[in-house]
Amino acid sequence: MTEQQNLIFGIDLGTTYSCIAYVDSADRPVTIANAEGARTTPSVVFYDGETRIVGQEAKNNAVLYPDQVVAMVKRHMGQSDWVHHYDGTDYSAEEISSYILRKLVNDTERMLGVTVKDVVITCPAYFGVNEREATARAGEIAGLTVRSVINEPTAAAIAYGMHEAQEQVVLVYDLGGGTFDITMIEIKEGQINVIATGGDHNLGGRNWDEIIVNYLAEQWKELAGSNQDPLDDPETAQDLFTRAEQAKMALTAREKTDVAVTHAGMREKVTLTRDLFDSITANLLERTIEYTRSTLKEAEKKGIRAFDQILLVGGSTKMPQVVKRLQAEFGLEPKFHDPDESVAKGAALYAQKLAIGDLIRIKIEGWGIKGSATASSEMVERAREEVADELGLTLPSVRQYGELDIRNVTSRSFGVIALEQRSNQEIVRNLIRVNDTVPAQSTQRFGIREDNQENAEIRIVENIVSADQADLDSSEQIGEALLNLPSGLRAGAPVEITFQLDEQGRLNATARELSTNQIIKVDIQTTRVISEEKLKEAIDRSKQLVVS
């Protein structure tokens, strides 16, 4: 697709590396190299006055200017209490992420000679309301129109299964630099159905690096005969992280590697073998296996007890220990599928689906029909033919995009805080549960607590408990509303609460008092992302900054 007004790009906004892709005129998803010639860009930002340097150069400066370099910011998405302080200003995770997006966009515009405006951005499958909204806000600060935020494993499955004729169940094992996702997906002709998902946004290749760093520091102390801790020096610590990542990558191809550790004027050589590396990081790998087992149990609840392929996604899956452990656990040889770029390519294919859908809708509306959903099958086919002709695509290809059905699941449960009468304790009643297919809707009735109660406080929470009931300690409040009640109601009078969760993970809630049909509607506006005031300030600041 080459016409400017129809281009929508797919972006993998990663914890350690990011990538942008689009579908070219030959209908192939293609990642776009950055200004340095690499197809992936380190998600690292260097604050240099009014300039934000993003990528490898920022990473290179981390040793010299550790206080001016920010990495791993994705782990802080949706955390309103986290900021990076620079030159008298606090910067949120959303604003810092917007610099990474701008770097990808700027390089793409120079490379392709087009304006990048509409995008699809990916996020970990287990991201909740806060994190997804923060991701969309990052795009807004960058001046982009975020058409959709889709799950990374789903994007990888699209890239893998878009042209797969064979029906199969795939286990997507996605171990990136900072996050881990495990997702079971059923691929059929014209359908990609997510069955169950799990993961940890604080588990990724960086954790392996941290263990290497600690090992190198301890070895230096022993070899140098010093009580000084190299990790107390920010510059030495940053240098060790750089060397740890290099050592980890070296051990992918070699059985051992030597690492030079310099601190306090003393330089020591530390030898790291693959066997030792596997041994000291085994607990991290086992955590991914535990998440995988839990996800398989969730899939069993839906009647899926086996899978045909293990699909490896994310740069950290290149570690030999990953393939070895998965093969030992499940008896299948895992399959690499473009681990560094498949998520961006899948997002680009989904973006192509949206773009073609836009063109078909515009055609049909131009013929006086409002909305393609009300158009006849003959009219839709005619629109597809014209779109295929204009874009130089085959009609079967346009049909495939139009008919592709992607069904996702929610990675969180959503409920309300209620009083359990027997124990007189507050608990959480989940209306929508982890791994329910989205869009999802659920309605439950609750009774008011007291006679003549004036209003009912509706406190809405999210958690990762798959049962109908959860503890308060395992849940996080994400919204609240006050429903005014008519006078004279007795304790136990029913209030009906309905939750609606859309494909983007956005939650709407409705509470209704049945005797008078009094209704209150709540669009969950999370308070844990950047506020509207701060958002405007970030957008205004962004216009004054140079990103390179």
In a domain, 168, yes or no: no
Identify the helix (H) or strand (E) that includes residue 441: strand 440-447
Strand arrangement of the beta sheet that strand 51-54 belongs to = 69-70, 45-48, 51-54, 546-547
As beta bridge partners, residue 263 has 266
In a domain, 37, yes or no: no
Distance CA 346, CA 336 (A): 15
C-beta atoms surrounding 399 within 10 Å: 17
Write down which residue in 256, 280, 304 finishes a domain. 280
What gap in Å lies between CA 475 and CA 441, rounded to an integer? 20
User: What letter does residue 242 receive in the DSSP assignment?
Assistant: H
Q: Which of 280, 303, 328 is the last residue of a domain?
A: 280
SS (HEC) of 36-87: CCCCCEECCEEEECCEEEECHHHHHCCCCCHHHEECCHHHHCCCCCCCEEEC
Residue 2 has a pLDDT of 44
What pLDDT, on a 0 to 100 scale, did the predictor assign at position 529?
Answer: 62
- Burial class of residue 451 (count of CB atoms within 10 Å of its CB; 0-12, 13-18, 19+): exposed
The CATH number of whichever domain residue 238 belongs to comes to 3.90.640.10
Residue 285: CB atoms within 10 A of its CB come to 17
The answer to whether position 486 is within a domain reads yes
Q: With both helix axes pointing from N to C terminus, report the angle between 532-544 and 93-112 in degrees, rounded to the nearest 10.
A: 40
Residue 150 and residue 122 in contact, taking contact as beta carbons nearer than 8 Å:
yes
- How are beta strands 335-336 and 476-484 bridged, if at all? unpaired
| DSSP code string of 326-385 | HHHHHSS--EE--TTTHHHHHHHHHHHHHHHHHHHHHHHHHTT-SSGGGS-HHHHHHHHH
* pTM of the predicted protein model: 0.91
Q: What is the reported pLDDT for 150?
A: 93
What integer pLDDT is reported at residue 527 of this predicted model? 57
Reported residue count of the chain is 548
3-state SS, one letter per residue, for 170-231: EEEEEECCCCEEEEEEEEECCEEEEEEEEEECCCCHHHHHHHHHHHHHHHHHHHHCCCCCHH
Q: What is the pLDDT of residue 125?
A: 86
Q: Answer yes or no: is 142 within a domain.
A: no
Whole-number Å distance between alpha carbons of 5 and 10: 15
**Model pLDDT, residue 371:** 65
In a domain, 156, yes or no: no
Three-state DSSP class for 244? helix
- Cβ density class 517-538: b for 16+ within 10 Å, e for less: eeebebebebebbbeeebbebb
pLDDT tens, per residue, the chain with 548 residues:
444 457 899 999 999 999 999 999 889 999 999 999 999 999 999 999 999 999 999 999 998 899 999 999 999 998 888 999 999 999 999 999 999 999 999 999 999 999 999 999 999 988 888 899 999 999 999 999 999 999 999 999 999 988 776 899 999 999 999 999 999 999 988 889 999 999 998 999 999 999 999 999 999 999 999 999 999 999 999 999 999 999 999 999 999 999 999 999 999 999 999 999 999 999 999 999 999 999 999 999 999 999 999 999 999 999 999 999 999 999 999 999 899 999 999 999 999 999 999 999 999 988 888 766 678 889 999 999 999 999 999 999 999 999 999 999 998 899 999 998 888 899 999 999 999 999 999 999 999 999 999 988 999 999 989 899 999 999 988 888 888 899 889 998 999 999 999 887 788 899 999 988 888 887 765 555 677 788 888 888 888 889 99
Residue 229: the pLDDT is 95
Cα atoms in the Cβ-side hemisphere of radius 13 Å centred on 150: 28
Q: Does a structural domain hold residue 510?
A: yes
Is there a domain that residue 504 lies in?
Answer: yes
- Contact in structure between 32 and 358 (CB atoms under 8 Å): no
Q: In this predicted structure, what is the pLDDT of residue 3?
A: 47
Domain-ending residue, one of 280, 301, 317: 280
Question: Would 507 be classed as within a structural domain?
Answer: yes
Which CATH number is 477's domain given?
A: 2.60.34.10
Tokens of 540: 């205004």
Domain of 233, in residue numbers: 205-280
Residues 315/319/324/327 CA torsion (nearest 10 deg): 0
Q: What is the pLDDT of residue 383?
A: 92
Domain count, the chain: 2
